[in-house]
A and B are shown apart, each in its own frame.
Chain A
Amino acid sequence: MPSLGLPIYGQKTALETRRWKSLDELEARTAAEPGEFPEGAAETPEGLSRRGFLQVLGASVALAGLQACKPPREKLVPYVRAPAAVTPSVPVAYATAASEEGYAVGLVVQAHEGRPVKIEGNRLHPASLGGSDAIRQALVLELYDPARLRGFTREGRALAWSALLQEIAALGREHDKDGGTRLRFLVAPTSSPTLGDLRRRVLERFPRARFDTWSATGEGAQRAGAAIAFGRPLDATYDVAKADVILSLDSDFLAVEGEHLRHAREFASRREGDRMNRLYVAEPRFSVTGGMADHRLRMRGLEVAAFARAVAAELAGAGLAGLGPLGAHGEGERVKVARAIAKDLAGARGRSLVLAGARQPPAVHALAAAMNEALGNVGTTVHWRAPVLLDPRAGADSLRELAGELAAGKIDTLVVTAWNALHTAPADLELRKAFGKVKNSMVLALREDETVRAASWRLAASHPLESWGDLRSRDGTVSIVQPLITPLYESATEIDLLAAFVGEGDRGAWRLVREGWRARSGAPPAPLPLAGAAAAANPVDTNRPRRPDPYDRTWDEWLAAGVLTESAGKPEQVAADLGAVGDALGKLPVPAGGIELGFAPDYKIWDGRLLENAWLQELPDPVTKLTWENAAHLSPATAKRLGLASGDLVELARGGRAVVAPVLIVPGHADDAVTVALGYGQQVAGPVGKGVGFDGYALRTSDAPWFAGGAELRKTGKRTDLAVTQGHFSMEGRAIALALDHEELGRAKAELDEHRGEAPTILEPVDYSDRTYKWGMAIDLSRCIGCGACTAACQAENNIPVVGKEQVLRSREMHWIRVDRYFEGPAEDPKSVTQPLACVHCEMAPCEYVCPVNATVHSDEGLNEMVYNRCVGTRYCSNNCPYKVRRFNFFDYHGDVAPTLQMLMNPDVTVRARGVMEKCTYCTQRIQRARIDARVGGKKIGPDEVVPACAQACPAEAITFGNLNDPRSRVSRKHGDARRYDLLHELGTRPRTAYLVKLRNPNPELA
């Protein structure tokens, strides 16, 4: 049966059934050993027994609440009196932070009855400003992933935490003998001060041990570039809002690099009105940032440096003589372009910005730094700060040294907290072989992967939403990472593990973090508990009455805000050493001939750590709309030359290494180049990630981490079906996603008027003007960067199922809001428009009058309502929906999902049954909540008070929602905007969602 072939995510497979069994055993085990972990933490909330429920509830609230402070050793008691913090059915939000390449991204997490279900950005956090992205949205699914690693084992022996501590202690005594000569730590980049302290203390105990930092992605090149230019590694933060002219040298700064959420928001704020900025992007593959470019210059990755020098040369000509020695005039068409760009930049001194991409070599970063300095951007659009990362030089070098030592058998104990090093390490380091030589390989990981499989000690890591910790953002702002729920499974944090090496494994992360910050903040030490020998003997027992501690308030404020006030560092004064930069540029290799192989972190699964996340797997790639795998991206011309078509399986080879990859032709990709997204094709994966995609790391060597010439593509003659959610990227000349040049807008009024305003009709339109609320939405195509955060946010908010690759191939994906991408102009070098499209809530809805059972009707506030329990599933509404935004439950997608995934469901949103139609509701549950609050408060709902999930997540603030009957609402203003138009206006559907034309700001000289 076709249906049986498909893995619907969350459906119980034989494998999972086994897992539940083992989980029960786990529960039994924890019950046996009193109090290592709180009861209920390790217990599956299957059908949530009252006891279990109260425990989960109590656990999370006690932990997440303002005095949520219990070391893991202490028991959780179901609360007899409900704490003030929680009213059942009313969600509570807590601020925390997640790490991205070691830097903090501030988050606010919604918890329902103690179950975290929705993640938003933290408005107070510099790296978020309230926006988020698909990856941040999907973290919560990772928390509940049934395939997570559980418990601790050594050579297959299950260990409780206490037992583990004893064995680690024994191990420590071994290494004490030689001061840790044969002890190594392989860690991920982090900015956590607490971890910093712990590492220092570990090195104090084991002076000859070493911490090596490894990340397959990250911005090491940027700090290295700063080291070249300024003599020391520095972190750059950019003030994109201040930049009138931006040159991106292969920097995907809107979606991937740096504080991309803030960049997107600031960039978008300059895409409308008269002070519109202008973006030049030079890049090999079509990136999200490239899609926003006013001028996109496609070139192979290795040519970007040359182009940057050409611009530098032209800048020198334009009055920035200092850059002369760094410049090198290009040849051909590029000269003209470079000159125009240089002129533009030079014309905007102090208001321009040059960014080098993380994939570019340090020399290019150094050049960019020099250009910014010469343009007077330092202090206005660019700020240099001392890096907050504990180890700025994260890269292949330290890993190579470690690999050498491992291969030589010099290491007895290797503690790995970096993610899946065996998978991500450069292929030439042969880490897989070397790793086997270690006696004690200890891996702390969230789920089982290749490295865990190879390790002798397998330790389950707690999810960030279960962990205490701290992180800093690039400007130094500190955020406390606080848990929202006790660990679902027996697990530990990196802090717990390192603490174990200094004999404090039983103190608990909370205490380490909290007391650490007490010291740093200079607060007085904690007062001793009230009298009592027992109390004196056990000062950490918080269940006894205590003297008031002034530090409590400070701490609570930090937790509530999600950031430590005034913790941001001051920018440094810098002066570039142009000579050094010149030398570095001189040393750059000349681009090799043949086909260039480029790598990139995946927009969805990053470096591969999110492979097991079904939401992200099914999220269409922002550019290619590919789901459930990666592909070898080629330009149409190159594909033609090689006689390849999308879906052809080729053998992709470089330097004697080869993988089999499907070809995907991407308009606007650089010719003679192939781009591969990293992280797929992992050898060890759970039910979701098994057999998904091919392994790009297998081709990646330490000498050419991002770009390498001499790649070969050999036909295998086989084909595969690529599950793309959008098969057609042309608008067929129809007015769908409109884009105009900035100065055309004035002239285009008449043309736009054909796409808005009253349409002739024989039906008297219902008049909503007398209603209190008339909900409406506006989507600003000029702001939308097409990242897909809205799609992920909607999926999380509205309990939208994941259907799996087979079903996506059958065009049955369930996303309520999709981001369409259209390419305009020549396929070789097109412009692009992205258009988020959900139900537009037509006032004259074609879907409604064809429903035989009145299952979709209009509310008096103009919402197009979908009545799930009345729907019989004729699908007539979908046929008659010109926007094709309705989604149908072809199968029972929610049928027996794993208990943990049931905890993920948003209780405010109906879980739809098989055979029922569904679609965007404008987040009607949020409207209702606002209505209740308003009634309780005896007031009206504010004009912009209701924020749907998509609008809340959007980092670019492209989506606005509110009351159209209130002229003060942002959405009313947007509806009145000169750029406003209605999609498919000619059909007279009177959509409530209005679109705003995308504006481009091309350089007249390049027109």
Chain B
Amino acid sequence: MKAWVLGEFEREEPLYEAARALRARGHASLDIHSPYPLHGADHALGLKRSTVPIVALVAGVTGALTGYLLQWYTVAHDWPLNVGNRPPHSAPAFIPVTFELGVLFASLAIFFGLLGGYFGFPRTHHPVFEVEAFRSATIDALWLSVEVDGKDAEPIAQELRRLGARQVSIVPEAK
């Protein structure tokens, strides 16, 4: 069975230290929880560049194309009408909708991509929530969480205390 070891730190530097130390020990599944984005966290955890921009780009281009084709099909191809002597296919008039749909698609992709895809939301249940003290993670404290095999939990906890955690708690995997 698995377990999560959670350590609360007050300041960033010891936190990063602890993270690096544990990674050096070969603990890959680390995570940091903080009320606001920490600039050093990515580096400390050795995270790579986010791929969100590519998603946004693809969605945006798709949206723009959809917009233009929609207009071309409806007013120029499917049922062209003589409207005030304007040419049925008038590209300049199609720009606004094309642009708007591009933005719309990209924004939707980013928002729902983040929540659903990257964050795996909605998720109202997570081991870290088992610890009442963990509430401080969104208020004023910085937490380091380590996912380990149940029997290694205690040594890691010791280690974290040694590395300067204010308090440490262990969450065994729920049966």
Contacts and interface: CB of A to CB of B under 8 A. Distances in A.
Are A and B direct contacts in the complex by CB distance below 8 Å?
yes
Interface of A: 763-766, 842-849, 851, 854, 857-860, 990
A849 B81 contact: no
A83 B81 CA distance: 44
A851 B86 CA distance: 13
B143 to A, nearest CB: 55
Given A763-B85, A847-B84, A858-B85, 12 more contacts: A842-B84, A844-B84, A845-B85, A848-B83, A854-B83, A857-B81, A857-B82, A858-B81, A858-B84, A859-B82, A860-B82, A990-B85
B105 to A, nearest CB: 23
A858 B86 contact: no
A264 to B, nearest CB: 37
Interface string B52-87: 000000000000000000000000000001111111
Give the interface residue-count category, chain B: under 10
7 contacts: A763-B87, A765-B85, A844-B85, A848-B83, A851-B83, A854-B83, A858-B83
B83 A857 contact: yes
Contact of B85 (A766, A851, A860): A766
Interface of B: 81-87
A708 B81 CA distance: 64
A842 to B, nearest CB: 8
A857 B75 CA distance: 13
Contacts of A846: 84
Contacts of A860: 82
Contacts, number: 34
Contacts of B84: 842, 844-849, 858
Contacts of A765: 85
A849 B83 contact: yes
A766 B81 CA distance: 12
Contacts of B82: 766, 857-860
A765 B82 CA distance: 11
A225 to B, nearest CB: 59
Contacts of B83: 848-849, 851, 854, 857-858
B24 to A, nearest CB: 65
Contacts of B86: 763, 849
Contact of A843 (B81, B85, B87): B85
A845 to B, nearest CB: 5
Contacts of A847: 84
A248 B84 CA distance: 48
Rank and list the top 3 A-B pairs by shortest CB-CB distance, nearest first.
A848-B84, A849-B84, A858-B82
B93 to A, nearest CB: 9
Contacts of A766: 82, 85
B79 to A, nearest CB: 9
A990 B84 CA distance: 10
Nearest to A862: B82
A842 B83 CA distance: 11
Contacts of A764: 87
Contacts of A843: 85
In this complex, the member of B82, B83, B84 whose beta carbon has the largest number of chain A beta carbons within 10 angstroms is B84
B140 to A, nearest CB: 53
A845 B86 CA distance: 9
A35 to B, nearest CB: 59
A395 to B, nearest CB: 60
Nearest to B74: A854
A528 B32 CA distance: 121
A199 B85 CA distance: 67
A569 to B, nearest CB: 58
Nearest to B93: A849
Nearest to B85: A844
A859 B83 CA distance: 9
A990 B85 CA distance: 10
A842 B86 CA distance: 13
Nearest to A990: B85
Contacts of A851: 83
In this complex, the member of B81, B82, B87 whose beta carbon has the largest number of chain A beta carbons within 10 angstroms is B82
Contacts of A845: 84-85
B129 to A, nearest CB: 51
Contacts of B81: 854, 857-858
A844 B87 CA distance: 11
B87 to A, nearest CB: 7
A857 B87 CA distance: 13
A393 to B, nearest CB: 64
A86 B25 CA distance: 105
Nearest to A763: B85
Nearest to A765: B85
Nearest to B82: A858
B155 to A, nearest CB: 70
B89 to A, nearest CB: 13
A850 to B, nearest CB: 8
Nearest to A858: B82
B148 to A, nearest CB: 63
A815 B86 CA distance: 29
A467 B85 CA distance: 52
A844 B83 CA distance: 8
Nearest to A844: B85
A624 to B, nearest CB: 36
A860 to B, nearest CB: 8
A989 to B, nearest CB: 9
A990 B87 CA distance: 16
B83 to A, nearest CB: 5
A842 B81 CA distance: 16
Contacts of A844: 84-85
A765 B81 CA distance: 14
A848 B82 CA distance: 9
Contacts of A854: 81, 83
Contacts of B85: 763, 765-766, 843-845, 858, 990
B71 to A, nearest CB: 13
A842 B87 CA distance: 16
Nearest to A850: B84
B63 to A, nearest CB: 21
A848 B86 CA distance: 9
A843 B85 CA distance: 7
Nearest to A761: B85
A858 B85 CA distance: 8
In this complex, the member of B81, B85, B86, B87 whose beta carbon has the largest number of chain A beta carbons within 10 angstroms is B85
A883 to B, nearest CB: 14
Contacts of B87: 763-764
A851 B83 CA distance: 9
Nearest to A854: B81
A877 to B, nearest CB: 10
Nearest to A847: B84
Contacts of A857: 81-83
A848 B83 CA distance: 5
A860 B81 CA distance: 10
Nearest to A764: B87
Contacts of A849: 83-84, 86
A765 B85 CA distance: 7
B16 to A, nearest CB: 58
A858 B82 CA distance: 5
A220 to B, nearest CB: 58
Contacts of A858: 81-85
B92 to A, nearest CB: 11
A851 B75 CA distance: 13
Nearest to A766: B85
Nearest to A988: B85
A858 B88 CA distance: 13
A76 B175 CA distance: 96
A764 B85 CA distance: 8
Nearest to B86: A849
Nearest to A851: B83
B152 to A, nearest CB: 67
A680 B71 CA distance: 58
Contacts of A763: 85-87
A763 B86 CA distance: 7
Contacts of A842: 84
A858 to B, nearest CB: 4
